Amino acid sequence: MAALPSGLPVVDHHAHLHPSHEGVEAARRFRAAGGTHLFLATQSYETTCPMDLDGYRRQFETTEALARRVETEVGVTTYVVVAPYPIDLLPQAQRIGLEGAVALQESALELAGRWVSDQRAVALGEIGRPHFSVDPSVLPAVEGVFRKALEVARDAAAPAVVHCEDLDGAGYRALAAFASSVGFPLGRLVKHYARSFVPAPERLGIVPSFLARREAVRDARGDPGPWFLETDFLDDPARPGAVLDLATIPRRAGALAAEGAAGIEVLHRVFVDSVQAVYGFAPSVPPGRSG
């Protein structure tokens, strides 16, 4: 595995940290392996998902505080991604009723939109729908909240990071039609936790964030992009390393760099060009610092 070129960022596009688990220490492992930039997605930090808007406000603030600690204590540039987790709708419906759950999700989405507008977050996520079958009676509410999420992201000029089932070509077409129906730009729609490689023409502009397994890198390396790599690290002591460990992407980057110019071109495409295309900024590494 080769050393990475000086100035090349190494970006994990989607991970979670928990203040009561590894938290900042996991980010140290990422940095030690060569990671430089992290997209930190919010999650529930309490024993149950939020049941009121203040619960989501606390959740977003915890994510923001973790991000700032990672930056100041570890030196990893960290971008905050916030939204109410779409699966929260299901336990919320059981506790406060479906109508109340939908209203809470929509209020939390509007809060997330304000965070983006105030530059406290760079995207809405995760939004979308459960990746498993749900009671058909709940589906209209699920789809309605997803539509609201895309409307909020559209109005905030924010990328949207989608949680849903793994997609094939037909799935990308259906997602593209759904997003287009509310006027959301497909080039700012990111399919989080993409496991199946679908060629760029079949994605219709939707951006996959591939789970950074070796086979995903192998399949995607010739793709013109944009596309991302992520670990979806969960920081859960009951599931060590789940989904992938934070050191994974720096290791993948080192393996590509060892291939020479062609591998480095792939790294630039995924870590620089893709972020620029979707988020409107390019990650940079301070002079003298490398992955």
DSSP notation for 129-191: --SS---GGGHHHHHHHHHHHHHHHHHTT--EEEE-S---HHHHHHHHHHHHTTT--GGGEEE
Q: pLDDT above 70 covers what percent of the chain?
A: 97
Residues facing 171 on adjacent strands = none
- Whether the per-residue pLDDT at 219 is higher than 90: the answer is yes
Looking up residue 259, the CATH number of its domain turns out to be: 3.20.20.140
Residue 291 has pLDDT above 60, yes or no: no
Give me the chain's average pLDDT, please.
Answer: 95
Per-residue pLDDT at 290 exceeds 70: no
Give the range of the structural domain holding residue 30, as residue numbers without chain letter. 17-279
Give the other-Cβ count within 10 Å of 284's Cβ.
12
pLDDT band at 4 (very low <50, low <70, confident <90, very high): confident
Q: Does the residue 287 lie in any domain? A: no
pLDDT per residue as tens digits for the range 119-158: 999 999 999 999 888 889 999 999 999 999 999 999 999 9
Pairing assessment for the beta strands 160-163 and 189-194 based on DSSP bridges:
parallel
Q: Edge to edge, what strands does the sheet with 160-163 contain? A: 11-15, 37-41, 77-82, 123-128, 160-163, 189-194, 207-211, 228-230
Residue 185 lies in a domain: yes
In a domain, 290, yes or no: no
Residue 6 structure tokens: 């000086």
With 80 as the cut, is the pLDDT of residue 80 above it? Answer: yes
CB 270 within 8 A of CB 212: no
Mean pLDDT of 190-217: 97
What is the 3-state secondary structure of 2-55? CCCCCCCCCEEEEECCCCCCCCHHHHHHHHHHCCCEEEEECCCCCCCCCCCHHH
pLDDT number for residue 287 = 62
pLDDT at 247 over 80: yes
In a domain, 3, yes or no: no
User: What pLDDT was estimated at residue 93?
Assistant: 97
Residue 265 and residue 257: Cα distance in Å, rounded? 9
Q: What is the pLDDT of residue 102?
A: 98
> pLDDT grade, residue 242 (50/70/90)?
confident
Q: What pLDDT, on the 0 to 100 scale, is given for residue 230?
A: 98
Q: Is residue 273 within 8 Å of 225, Cβ to Cβ?
A: yes
Q: Is residue 50, in this structure, part of any structural domain at all?
A: yes
User: CA torsion sign, 223 to 225 to 230 to 232?
Assistant: negative
Residue 120 counted as domain residue: yes
The answer to the question of residue 10 being in a domain is no
Q: Taking the model in full, what pTM does it have?
A: 0.96
| pLDDT at residue 289 tops 90 | no
> Is residue 6 in a domain?
no
Q: Where are the beta strands (DSSP E) in 214-273?
A: 228-230
3-state secondary structure of 123: strand
Q: What is the DSSP letter of 87?
A: G
pLDDT of 106 = 98
Instruction: Indicate the number of domains in the chain.
Output: 1
For residues 113 and 235, give the distance between their C-alpha atoms in angstroms, rounded to a whole number. 26
Answer whether residue 241 shows pLDDT above 90. Answer: no
Neighbours of 84 (CB within 10 A): 31
HSE of 149, CA atoms in CB hemisphere, 13 A: 30
